[in-house]
Amino acid sequence: MIAILIFGISVLTLVQFFVSYCHSLIAESRGYEFSEQGREISGVTGSTVRGDQFRRLLQLIALCPEPAATRVRFRAVSLYFGLLGLVRALFGWIEPTVGRWIESERGGCAYVAAVMLDRRIAYNRVLVAREMSSQL
């Protein structure tokens, strides 16, 4: 009985902590200034990115070499995006408000992906510039 109680409470706190952690990662990205090229590629309009852009951004990110440290944040946000998809599939049809909330959360995840893509583009530019200068 105690084990069931602990399990139930732990799952609830896990969801709350994990969602808050992902929110903190998303909020941390909000202050990022996009480059023109990054904005164009990612489809950023103002300070929003549509949630359905996430998969496309994932594919673009996979094409760019990256500094390893950024993977942690991205994995956590990708997992959160997947969980949101699951919640939408399970409960999205019940109430339209839930659907809107999920879409805004997915937009946040896509924003993190856009920031990551822009950072990787900048990183790759530096790498190319270094390569070219070493050849000269």
Partner 1 sequence: MLGVGRYSIMATSGFTSFSYYYFYFYSDALLTICLYFVLMNLYAHVFSEMASASWCGGARCCFSRAPLGSLTAWSRCPAIGWLRTSLSNFPESVFVGVVLTYLLWGAMTKLRENRTHLMQLVLSTGVYFSMFAGSYALDNMYPNTVVWRYIFHLMAMWLPVSWTYTFWKVPEDARMATARVLVPNR
What does the binding site for partner 1 look like in residue numbers (CB under 8 A)?
Answer: 2-4, 6-7, 9-11, 13-14, 16-18, 20-21, 23-28, 30, 69-70, 72-73, 76, 104-105, 107-108
CB nearer partner 1, residue 111 or residue 133: 111
Could you tell me the smallest distance in angstroms from the CB atom of residue 10 to partner 1? 4
> In the chain, what is the straight-line distance between the N-terminal and C-terminal CA atoms, in Å?
72
Q: What is the C-alpha separation between 123 and 107, in angstroms, rounded?
A: 24
Contact 88, 67 (CB under 8 A): no
Could you tell me the smallest distance in angstroms from the CB atom of residue 14 to partner 1? 4
Could you tell me the smallest distance in angstroms from the CB atom of residue 24 to partner 1? 5
Q: What is the C-alpha separation between 108 and 102, in angstroms, rounded?
A: 10
